[in-house]
């Protein structure tokens, strides 16, 4: 019998969560588009350097500069600006197609990943439309075909999410950390993952949001026998006997 595998759908891009914390990123330009790029980078804890004459800074970028959220070089871009070995990526957002293409070529020579605003063929990566709720990030990409459509789709998805999804994810993150303290051994990895999966499936979003530190401690007692009691059972007048389940305390 022939096995069934997913169909290959070419023409897409590899969507990744790029970790740029404390990494140096160069932004050329200081207008509205640059402001959005800069905010995305700061949200990811990147170390941002902006190259733009002060006269070209829009109010938001000027605010970032004044509050020392970014490093500002008050000048126009020069090829030597790419000589810094600490630069990990380059973003351009300037109204000069010829200069942008030149920066792209220089980045290719130095093997620096770059994004040239509004020029998809000259981009190693794209910026999608992102929904953010605490630790939750959802990105919608049209692979450069329609940024406005990405925004519309992202809003549609966000409107169907519970408003407290981010809080639930934070609670799950705390529970995972506590579970690693309870069962730190590497060989426990598969069981930890399966047990956490069962918690996320069997508990409602409201339960996860309402889960307290005390609830976590009680719930973790059910890890060893590989059980997942409900939040009602965790909070009820029950006592875990360590063998086959929960017993009522009388």
Catalytic residue among 118, 124, 207, 233: 118
95 is catalytic: no
DSSP 115: E
Tokens of 188: 């426990």
The C-alpha atoms of residue 217 and residue 194 are separated, in whole angstroms, by: 18
Give residue 150's region: left, alpha or beta (phi > 0; psi -120 to 50).
alpha
The C-alpha atoms of residue 42 and residue 222 are separated, in whole angstroms, by: 40
Positive or negative, the CA dihedral 124, 108, 19, 38 is: negative
The C-alpha atoms of residue 133 and residue 164 are separated, in whole angstroms, by: 8
- For residue 234, the tally of other CB atoms under 10 A from its CB is 23
Q: Which residues carry out catalysis?
A: 118
């Amino acid at each position: 019998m022939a096995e069934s595998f997913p169909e290959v759908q070419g023409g897409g891009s590899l969507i990744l969560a790029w970790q740029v914390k404390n990494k140096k990123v160069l932004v050329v330009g200081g207008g509205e588009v640059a402001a959005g790029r800069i905010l995305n980078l700061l949200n990811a804890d990147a170390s941002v350097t902006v190259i733009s004459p002060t006269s070209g800074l829009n109010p938001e970028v000027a605010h970032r500069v004044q509050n020392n959220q970014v490093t500002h070089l008050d000048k126009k871009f020069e090829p030597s600006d790419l000589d810094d070995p600490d630069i990990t990526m380059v973003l351009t957002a300037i109204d000069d197609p010829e200069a942008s293409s030149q920066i792209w070529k220089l980045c290719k020579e130095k093997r620096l990943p770059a994004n040239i605003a509004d020029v998809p063929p000259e981009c190693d990566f794209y910026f999608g439309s992102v929904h953010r709720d605490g630790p939750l990030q959802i990105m919608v990409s049209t692979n450069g075909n329609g940024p406005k459509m990405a925004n519309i789709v992202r809003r549609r998805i966000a409107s169907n999410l519970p408003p407290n999804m981010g809080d639930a994810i934070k609670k799950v993150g705390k529970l995972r950390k506590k579970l690693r303290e309870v069962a730190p051994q590497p060989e426990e990895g598969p069981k930890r993952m399966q047990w956490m999966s069962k918690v996320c499936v069997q508990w409602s979003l409201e339960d996860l949001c309402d889960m307290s530190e005390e609830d976590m401690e009680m719930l973790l007692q059910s890890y060893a026998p590989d059980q997942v009691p409900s939040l009602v059972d965790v909070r009820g007048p029950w006592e875990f006997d360590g063998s086959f389940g929960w017993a009522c305390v009388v």
